[in-house]
Amino acid sequence: MRYLSAILAAVLSAGACWALVADRWDVQAVDGVPASHDVMVFRGETWVFEPRLTTNGAAYNVATGAVACLWWSADGFATVGSNTAAIIETGRARATWTPSCDTGATNYQYIIAIRDALGWIQRITGKITMRPSP
C-alpha cells in the first residue's frame, strides 16, 4: 500500500500530463424543475461542470447570446461567490470551479443558471463536498 501511495503521489504531482476532464451530464430543459447534481472535489482541484440541456433527448437549441453563471456558497447563500460560465456548444454550458473558489468549507451549495433574452431556461443546483487532497 505504501508503494501504491508513493506512485499515486508521483503521478498526481506530474499534473502537466493530466488533461482537465469535464463533468458532463444531461438536464431536461425548461421543465420548470431545477435539476440537481452533487459532486466531490479534492481541495486544490479544478472541476469543470458541463451540463447539456436537452428536450426529448436531443440538445436544446440555446439562443445566441444566452449566458450562464455559476454561484456558490458555504452558508446558505448569505454570502455568494460567482464565476461567469459560457455556452460552449448547442445546449451545453461550461462552469468552472477553481481552487480560488474554495474558502475552506467542507461543503458548498451551487447553482448554475442559464438564461436567454426570454428569461431563465434552467437552474441546476447541487452540493460540492470538499475532500482532502491525496
| Predicted local confidence at residue 19, as pLDDT | 55
CB 96 within 8 A of CB 49: yes
Reported pTM: 0.77
14 in any annotated domain: no
CB 31 within 8 A of CB 121: no
Domain total of the chain? 1
In angstroms, the CA 69 to CA 24 distance is: 16
| Predicted local confidence at residue 17, as pLDDT | 42
Per-residue pLDDT reduced to its tens digit, 57-89: 888 887 767 888 899 999 888 888 888 777 767
* The amino acid at 10: A
| Predicted local confidence at residue 3, as pLDDT | 43
Distance of CA 110 to the CA centre of its chain: 8
SS3 at position 7: helix
Q: What CATH code is carried by the domain that includes residue 42?
A: 2.60.40.3350
Domain range for 33 is 19-131
**Is pLDDT at 12 greater than 50 in this prediction?**
no
1 in any annotated domain: no
76 in any annotated domain: yes
Burial of 12 (0-12, 13-18, 19+ CB in 10 A): middle
6 in any annotated domain: no
